[in-house]
Amino acid sequence: MKQLIDGAKVKMNKCVESLEHAYKAIRTSGANPNMVSNVEVEYYGFPTPLSQLAQISVVEGRQLYIKPFDGSITKAVEKAIFSANLGLTPQNEGTAIRINVSPLTEERRKEYTKVASKYAEEAKVAVRNVRRDVVDKIKKDKETPEDLRKSYEQDVQKLTDEYIKKIDAVCAAKSKEIMSI
């Protein structure tokens, strides 16, 4: 039973890590390489993440500089950024691309906060699914005395509550970051 709870803890932790990873792609006030790192570029017939095809850096806090390792794909990178619908306008300089990142409007900040809340809710659902699976396994184990099973179920619930609070804290921090100017 203890290994079930430990396994649940690992899975719930992965839910929080997944949420944090998803938050990296949400735009905040300044330029961030993660804004475009997951953009898929058509490279030799296969969609490939931009982060594997180019060096992405921040210049002066408000500008992204993308230098493809293979200069011949600059047009494809530009096209992929346009089609990703990120609200960014790439400027092709021949062998590199610059993107000026303008400050977010209040309306756009609120949109991104809603997206962050949606991601947090999805993470909570994933944590609750882990709890449900573990509780089902505990209930099916008829060899363990009932009072011990109830105790394990309470432990799983406490663990779930703990991870839900972590998700809420991560979401609140991201929302604050998005709304700060």
pTM of the model: 0.75
Task: Check residue 181 and give its pLDDT.
Answer: 67
- Read off the pLDDT band of 13 (50, 70, 90): very high
Q: Once rounded to an integer, what is the mean pLDDT over residues 111-129?
A: 94
Q: Is the pLDDT of residue 127 over 90?
A: yes
Task: Check residue 164 and give its pLDDT.
Answer: 96
Selected residue with higher pLDDT from 30 and 49 = 49
Give the model confidence (pLDDT) of 58-107 as tens digits: 888 788 899 999 888 889 888 888 888 777 888 988 889 998 888 778 88
Superfamily of chain region 2-24+105-179? Ribosome-recycling factor (1.10.132.20)
Task: Check residue 108 and give its pLDDT.
Answer: 83
Pinpoint the residues of the chain covered by CATH 3.30.1360.40.
Answer: 33-100
Classify strands 63-68 and 97-100 as parallel, antiparallel or unpaired.
antiparallel
**Residue 122 DSSP SS3:** helix
Buried-state track 143-166, b at ≥16 Cβ within 10 A, e below 16: eeeeeebeebeebbeebbeebbeb
Which of 1.10.10.60, 3.30.1360.40, 3.40.50.300, 3.40.50.720 is the CATH number of 33-100? 3.30.1360.40
Give the model confidence (pLDDT) of 139-180 as tens digits: 888 888 888 889 989 999 999 999 999 999 999 999 998 888
- Read off the pLDDT band of 10 (50, 70, 90): very high
Amino acid at 178: I
Pinpoint the residues of the chain covered by CATH 1.10.132.20.
Answer: 2-24+105-179
Least reliable range by pLDDT among 2-6, 46-50, 86-90: 86-90
The phi and psi torsions of 49 (rounded to 5 degrees) equal -60, 140
